[in-house]
């Protein structure tokens, strides 16, 4: 019950606007008592108790997937306790889950259904902010926040990882866990963290409690995908794992098999390999995106339509079919930081002098992509001072509402720096957490009204307009910048004939064809 004030009334504001009063210590104790009794009932029935630490984007889906696992008779295998912090910033997550509501907005309705079903019908999902909850569990899954301080690092030395929150979370588990419980780190962490950060903390806390038994600890990173198959991705995506010893490895495999597709499980030789796997796969994707960005700049200057060329190359199945298309940039929580975690772990946890020069350069190239788009906008506008530019699309990929590290954020900042007055549209995002000062307009026609220029920054389905519809929406004399191949050559022709100028990222051929106005 650490860190709780028993006096002033405190509130926690959820992103959807709901306000939750943070309960008093007595109230928390009382409701925790209920949770503990329900967990014990489940265990007496032969099931296991799983605590999920952190009810964010991954933890919420993980809690739902684990709670949804049933045995041959359709009975829940696990009783799941979601645990988060009783702080203003976090309490609402536990409150929502405990009320049977998904704490994250997602186009995947099955996540809402699964949480409601588990909390309200099956009764095997509860949430709490009381850390003694870890003491109920046979398995504790760590899904807490772990981030870098800045995503733009010019050198390995500039990378700073904030481990304090993670370490405190692991320490809370060590203080309360059952001696024979398994701790599974699912959070994406720097290489070496499981063995060299989490293990010593757990051992220290257990030793202080007089526990002699070796700690059971494993790494099993997640591949949760935002979008319509969000919950299903937890169950069916292949998953790598490794324990710190044979017993931990056996236990984590059994646990993963209880709710995930057993055919997709992949055992690695040690936890560092598992940690590295996650960082390597995301770095590969980020590097492939940076690769095409570099060629995008070349294609634009020499007047080539790179989309067409990439299409012609992607026919090479198995070697080239994952070549990326030009685009405004790359965002999200992972691709913008995981390479930094790898480098930081090598430097600080392994004391290695290895430097991922090219991988780190790729992150910088990706960060520069929206800045380049702002340049295209500036060029078309002939200067942005006091020009009204409307940016269409705020989320970091199409048709989701996740705005974390969205390249639109960088683009908007750069347009403002260049003097533009910026409006934003998005069909799904209602509150833009990173830019609460900007109103996100939901109606496209209304958003574009009075614009001097329009930027399509995310390929949302709503932007699939006919050339004529588009020409009607875009004010006369305005310019259009296409960040994601939303506008075809035919669109560009119609817009051009109707007096609008166009530029497209990776569409250098529009200059040659006269659809790109040069000043």
Residues that bind a second copy (CB under 8 A): 191-192, 223, 238, 240, 264, 266, 268-270, 272-273, 276-277, 280-281, 283-285, 287-288, 290-291, 294-295, 297-299, 301-305, 308-313, 315-316, 318-323, 342, 346, 350, 352-354, 356-359, 361-362, 365, 509
Minimum CB–partner distance for residue 169 and a second copy (Å):
24
Closer residue to a second copy (CB): 68 or 192: 192
Identify the CA nearest to 146 among candidates 337, 2, 283: 337
Minimum CB–partner distance for residue 345 and a second copy (Å):
8
* Tokens representing residue 425 in the block: 């549209």
Closer residue to a second copy (CB): 211 or 398: 398
Minimum CB–partner distance for residue 332 and a second copy (Å):
14
Minimum CB–partner distance for residue 461 and a second copy (Å):
21
Which DSSP string corresponds to 33-72?
Answer: HHHHHHHHHHHHTT-EEEEEE--SHHHHHHHHHHHT-B-T
Q: Going by C-beta distance under 8 Å and a sequence separation of 6 or more, which residues neighbour residue 184?
A: 139, 140, 141, 142, 217, 218, 219, 220, 252, 255
Q: Which helix (H) or strand (E) holds 109?
A: helix 109-116
Identify the CA nearest to 398 among candidates 241, 228, 237: 228
Minimum CB–partner distance for residue 263 and a second copy (Å):
10
Task: Count CB atoms within 10 A of the CB of residue 328.
Answer: 29
Q: Residues 427, 428, 433, CA angle at the centre, nearest 5°?
A: 120
Residue 122 burial (C-beta neighbours within 10 Å; 0-12, 13-18, 19+) = middle
- CA of 231: how far to CAs of 207, 363, 449, in Å? 38, 29, 38
* Tokens representing residue 479 in the block: 């310019």
Residue 475 CA to its chain's centroid (Å): 35
Minimum CB–partner distance for residue 191 and a second copy (Å):
7
Minimum CB–partner distance for residue 502 and a second copy (Å):
17
Identify the CA nearest to 170 among candidates 148, 190, 194: 194
Closer residue to a second copy (CB): 323 or 441: 323
228 and 108 Cβ atoms separated by less than 8 Å: yes
Closer residue to a second copy (CB): 423 or 508: 508
Closer residue to a second copy (CB): 339 or 406: 339
Minimum CB–partner distance for residue 265 and a second copy (Å):
10
Minimum CB–partner distance for residue 375 and a second copy (Å):
14
User: Helix count (H) and strand count (E) of the chain?
Assistant: 18, 18
104 and 57 Cβ atoms separated by less than 8 Å: yes
Minimum CB–partner distance for residue 239 and a second copy (Å):
9
245 and 255 Cβ atoms separated by less than 8 Å: no
Give the helix ranges, DSSP H, for 228-386.
230-236, 246-257, 271-302, 306-313, 338-344, 357-381
Closer residue to a second copy (CB): 40 or 157: 157
Task: Count CB atoms within 10 A of the CB of residue 492.
Answer: 26
Task: Count CB atoms within 10 A of the CB of residue 494.
Answer: 20
Closer residue to a second copy (CB): 317 or 519: 317
Minimum CB–partner distance for residue 295 and a second copy (Å):
6
Closer residue to a second copy (CB): 12 or 359: 359
Closer residue to a second copy (CB): 40 or 294: 294
Closer residue to a second copy (CB): 144 or 365: 365
Closer residue to a second copy (CB): 178 or 314: 314
């Amino acid at each position: 019950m650490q860190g709780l004030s028993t006096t002033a009334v405190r509130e926690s504001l959820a992103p959807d606007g709901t306000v939750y009063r943070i309960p008093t210590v007595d109230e928390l104790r009382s409701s925790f008592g209920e949770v503990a009794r329900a967990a014990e009932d489940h265990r007496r029935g032969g099931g296991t108790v799983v605590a999920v630490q952190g009810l964010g984007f991954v933890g919420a889906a993980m809690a739902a997937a684990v709670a949804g696992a049933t045995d041959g008779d359709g009975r829940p295998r696990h009783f799941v306790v979601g645990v988060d912090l009783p702080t203003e910033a976090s309490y609402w997550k536990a409150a929502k889950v405990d009320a049977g509501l998904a704490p994250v907005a997602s186009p995947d309705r099955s996540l809402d259904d699964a949480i409601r079903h588990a909390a309200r019908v099956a009764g095997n999902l509860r949430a709490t902010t009381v850390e003694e909850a870890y003491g109920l569990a046979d398995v504790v899954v760590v899904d807490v926040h772990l981030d870098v301080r800045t995503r733009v690092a010019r050198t390995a030395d500039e990378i700073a990882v904030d481990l304090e929150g993670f370490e405190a979370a692991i320490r809370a588990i060590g203080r309360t866990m059952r001696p024979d419980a398994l701790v599974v780190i699912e959070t994406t962490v720097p290489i070496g963290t499981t063995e060299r950060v989490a293990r010593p903390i757990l051992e220290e806390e257990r030793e202080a409690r007089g526990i002699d038994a070796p700690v059971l600890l494993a790494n099993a990173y997640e591949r949760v995908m935002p979008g319509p198959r969000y919950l299903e991705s937890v169950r069916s995506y292949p998953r790598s794992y490794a324990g710190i010893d044979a017993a931990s490895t056996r236990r984590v495999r059994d646990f993963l098999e209880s709710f995930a597709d057993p055919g997709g499980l992949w055992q690695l030789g040690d936890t560092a390999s598992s940690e590295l796997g996650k960082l390597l796969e995301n770095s590969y994707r980020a590097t492939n995106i940076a690769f095409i960005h570099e060629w995008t700049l070349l294609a634009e200057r020499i007047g080539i339509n790179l989309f067409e060329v990439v299409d012609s190359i992607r026919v090479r199945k198995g070697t080239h079919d994952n070549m990326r298309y030009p685009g405004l940039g790359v965002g999200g929580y992972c691709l913008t930081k995981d390479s930094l975690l790898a480098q930081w772990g090598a430097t600080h946890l392994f004391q290695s002098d290895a430097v991922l020069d090219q991988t780190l350069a790729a992150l910088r190239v990706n960060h520069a992509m929206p800045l380049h788009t702002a340049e295209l906008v500036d060029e078309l506008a002939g200067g942005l001072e006091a020009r009204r530019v409307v940016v269409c699309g705020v989320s970091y990929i199409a048709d989701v509402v996740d705005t974390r590290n969205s390249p639109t954020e960088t683009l908007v900042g750069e347009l403002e720096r260049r003097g533009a007055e910026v409006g934003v549209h998005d069909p799904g995002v209602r509150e833009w957490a990173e830019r609460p000062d900007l109103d996100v307009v939901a109606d496209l026609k209304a958003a574009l009204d009075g614009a001097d220029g329009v930027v399509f920054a995310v390929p949302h389905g709503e932007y699939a307009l006919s050339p004529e519809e588009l020409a009607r929406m875009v004010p006369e004399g305005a310019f259009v910048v296409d960040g994601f191949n939303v506008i075809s050559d035919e669109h560009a022709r119609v817009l051009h004939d109707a007096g609008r100028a166009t530029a497209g990222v990776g569409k250098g051929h529009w200059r040659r064809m006269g659809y790109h106005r040069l000043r």
